Amino acid sequence: MNEIINNNELERELHDHFGYTSFQIGQREIINDVMQGKDVLGVLPTGMGKSMCFQLPAKLLNGTTIVVSPLISLMIDQVKQLKASNFKRVVALNSFLSPKVRKKVYSLLNQYKLIYVSPELLQQRELMDYLKQVRVDLLVIDEAHCISQWGHDFRPDYLRLSEVVAELNNPSVLALSATATNEIQRDIKQVLQRPNMVDHIYPMDRENIVFSVEKLANDMEKNEKISRIFHRICVPTIIYFSSRNATEQFTAFLLNEHPSLRVAFYHGGMENVDRISIQQQFMNDQLDVICCTSAFGMGINKKDIRFIIHYHFPTQLESFIQEVGRAGRDGNESVSLVLYSEHDYFLPARLIEHELPQKEALVYVFQQLYRMYKQSEQIPYKVELIETLFHLNDSQWRFLHYHLEKHGMIKGNQIIYQKENWKAAFHSINSIVYNRIQLKEQKLLQMTSWVETKSCLREQLYKGFQSTFKQPLHACCSNCGFNLENWNPIPTVIEQRNQSWKEKLSALFSTEGAAKVP
């Protein structure tokens, strides 16, 4: 590992490589420990530059830094920004690379200083064989709360990251998040098998965000409310929904009511290229409003988002804080508005109910597996066949596949039967599902209690995460006197850009550019 760099040298390196004259809260302390080869857990407020905590070390360390990132759009956005700042030795490994280009990039991995990759791709033997030939000094888990929020459910490859670290000759580990309760912090360390990580935990509240909650009778009243708002103001806005269909339907409604407003929808059911196109248009001030599910926004570094509306509230406060934190990253006043009605509770409750395979579904899957074993059948690889065979959706199967494999019931697509082992596995998996659902229902109750509180929204929001909160720079919340009707944000000045998004997308994914390392 590199020798320790003092503060003056570190600030000089920051300026030389990225043009900044000083560090933001927590950055220097985290980078110092990373440069000393320590394992670090960093929790910083949204918009406080978590990515700098690994981007500067990636420049300074002798070897390569690998960043485990949850979303392709997030990887591509960060790589684009780094290349624009003249950090050329960076690459995002994702499904957009053709087999030919991917093979070429893999053969050049030792020439990159910073490699972005998903946890799922790290399970591919071909990539790991190439990475084992590279000197990896630092492995970063960006948005590390995903380990706890997603790893135990539909993205179990997060739970395998400790095996990846061991295979890469145990580089230092840096886990970064903006929202991590004490419970989530413990879970991150346990999953990564790094109990002695150095903690750098900072308050997550943002004093420039104003909170507002309004109860309405139904969705029609919500539509009318939002439409009236856009008659009065036009600022970069994200509207969150719990339903993919709702994002599309409301986008159509808003465009009909406000033809001059530039609106688009975004959700996980869209093609990757379409999602990235929408994201980049929003980043480039070519869209005013995004109507989206929680699939949008993670890692979005657009500094002038002024307005976050929750048409439906999320299933937990952690997600809400993450989504609200996308506003006002330039430090200027921004508003969070939550609209809710009596029936809104049932939508997140149904989502929780169907996220994991419950007892009846487990019984059916075990019966099918036993029948297939007796008939010497193998588990199909295609998702569509899995859905038909086991009556599970893709995320339910990913969860179950991980646990079946963990209990030695399957290996690859082979079924391995041992009566007592299967019996123990069933009870273990059923218990895990039960406990996860109980935890999610408890978090949903916390979310609904916050929405309905008559006390200070700011105080009630953060009390489960930290002992105090900062005094707001502007108004506090709707329970403390804020009235949305009196909010008059400064309209955003839209810069004209000559290059079209199609031209930018073409350049971004050009075969020549993807495989070239200066």
Please write the tens of the pLDDT for every residue from 294-322.
888 776 778 899 999 999 999 999 999 98
Of 253 and 493, the structure prediction assigns the larger pLDDT to 253
Q: What is the pLDDT of residue 492?
A: 64
Residues in the chain: 518
State the Cα–Cα distance between residues 420 and 434, nearest whole angstrom: 21
State the Cα–Cα distance between residues 323 and 308, nearest whole angstrom: 8
Encoded tokens for 416: 């391995």
Which CATH code is given to the segment(s) 7-202+506-515? 3.40.50.300
Of 491 and 375, the structure prediction assigns the larger pLDDT to 375
State the Cα–Cα distance between residues 335 and 479, nearest whole angstrom: 14
Q: What is the pLDDT of residue 511?
A: 39
Q: Could you tell me the pTM of the whole model? A: 0.86
Helices (H) and strands (E) in the chain, counts: 21, 15
pLDDT at 517 over 60: no
CA distances from 146 to 116, 172, 272 (A): 16, 19, 20
Residues 178-201 have pLDDT tens digits of 888 888 999 999 999 999 999 999
State the Cα–Cα distance between residues 458 and 480, nearest whole angstrom: 9
Q: What's the whole-number mean pLDDT along residues 385-398?
A: 91
Residues 62-98 have pLDDT tens digits of 999 999 998 887 888 888 888 888 898 999 998 788 8
Output b/e per residue, 462-475; b: 16+ Cβ within 10 A: beebeeebeebeeb
pLDDT at 282 over 50: yes
Q: What's the whole-number mean pLDDT along residues 377-394?
A: 91
Strand partners, 93: 117
Residues 479-489 have pLDDT tens digits of 999 999 999 99
* Structural contact between residues 313 and 287, judged by C-beta atoms closer than 8 angstroms: no
**Contacts (Cβ under 8 Å, ≥6 apart) of 43:** 176, 177, 178, 179, 180, 185, 200, 201, 202, 204
Encoded tokens for 51: 């990515």
State the Cα–Cα distance between residues 432 and 362, nearest whole angstrom: 12
Q: What is the pLDDT of residue 1?
A: 47
Q: What is the pLDDT of residue 7?
A: 66
SS3 percent helix, strand, coil of the chain, rounded to 5, is 50, 15, 40
Of 7 and 101, the structure prediction assigns the larger pLDDT to 101
Q: What's the whole-number mean pLDDT along residues 254-258?
A: 96
Instruction: Report residue 296 CA to chain centroid gap.
Output: 8
Identify the sign of the CA torsion 225, 332, 288, 263: negative
* Strand ranges across the sheet with 209-215: 209-215, 334-340, 307-310, 237-240, 289-292, 263-266
Three-class DSSP category at 53? helix
Q: What is the pLDDT of residue 518?
A: 40
Q: What is the pLDDT of residue 179?
A: 82
Q: What is the pLDDT of residue 512?
A: 41
pLDDT at 493 over 90: no
Q: Which of the 8 DSSP states describes residue 86?
A: T
pLDDT at 498 over 50: no
Encoded tokens for 203: 């308050």
pLDDT interval class at 8 (50, 70, 90): confident
Burial category of 393 from C-beta neighbours within 10 Å (exposed 0-12, middle 13-18, buried 19 and up): middle
pLDDT interval class at 4 (50, 70, 90): low
Which CATH code is given to the segment(s) 209-348+475-493? 3.40.50.300
Mean pLDDT, the chain, rounded, equals: 89
Q: What is the pLDDT of residue 299?
A: 66
What is the biggest distance separating any 2 CA atoms in the chain, rounded to whole angstroms?
Answer: 70
Q: What is the pLDDT of residue 80?
A: 86
